[in-house]
Amino acid sequence: MNYEIDNLDKQILQLLMKDVTRAYTDIAKELNVSGGTIHVRMKKLNEMGVVKGSQLLVNPSAVGYDICAFIGVFLERGSEYKEAVEQMRLIPEIVELHYTTGSYSMFAKLICRDTKHLREVLNEKLQTVNGVERTETLISLEESISRQIVLE
């Protein structure tokens, strides 16, 4: 499949990345094209895998989740990665998980209510995953930047 996107696609994406709730008709007016064109382009971008859906972003601290932690995960063997991922999918506090190079086998982002909750997740869930040798925890004190890529 051809993954090249043109300037109109980029403009549509830029506008929706600023405000995903924006109506296609409003975008069409701003870009001087039809609403149908926006709809067709977005369908194409979804099918190509450029757009991976849309989501509502909830502020975790506003709903009682005040701890963001990053966990470096050391696996006993790299061959245990796939099984470890499947087990970690069942831990709802893990909101991101990456297979990495460097010191850690995997790097996870967790969102928890408080330090007690984080300790429970680490001790009772994450560190009991088959293949996890040990973990290293870094607690975020503040998120300074959170953004999408800039399309040029």
The predicted structure's pLDDT at residue 74: 96
- pLDDT of the residue at 115: 97
* Residue corresponding to tokens 């990665």: 81
Q: Are 45 and 13 in contact (CB under 8 A)?
A: yes
Domain ranges of the chain: 7-48, 60-140
Model confidence pLDDT, tens digit, residues 78-129: 889 999 999 999 999 999 999 999 999 999 999 999 999 999 999 999 999 9
- CB contact at 8 A, 84 and 131: yes
Region 4-9 average pLDDT? 90
* H-helix segments, 4-144: 7-18, 24-31, 35-48, 81-88, 115-120
Whether residue 15 is predicted with pLDDT greater than 80 in this model: the reply is yes
At 3 the pLDDT is 63
Q: Domain 60-140 class?
A: alpha beta
Q: Is residue 56's pLDDT more than 90?
A: no
Instruction: Please state the rounded mean pLDDT for residues 8-26.
Output: 93
Q: Could you tell me which CATH number the domain at 7-48 has?
A: 1.10.10.10
Whole-number pLDDT of residue 2? 59
Average pLDDT, stretch 13-39?
93
pLDDT at 120: 98
For residues 112 and 137, give the distance between their C-alpha atoms in angstroms, rounded to a whole number: 13
For residue 1, what pLDDT is reported? 54
* pLDDT at res. 148: 86
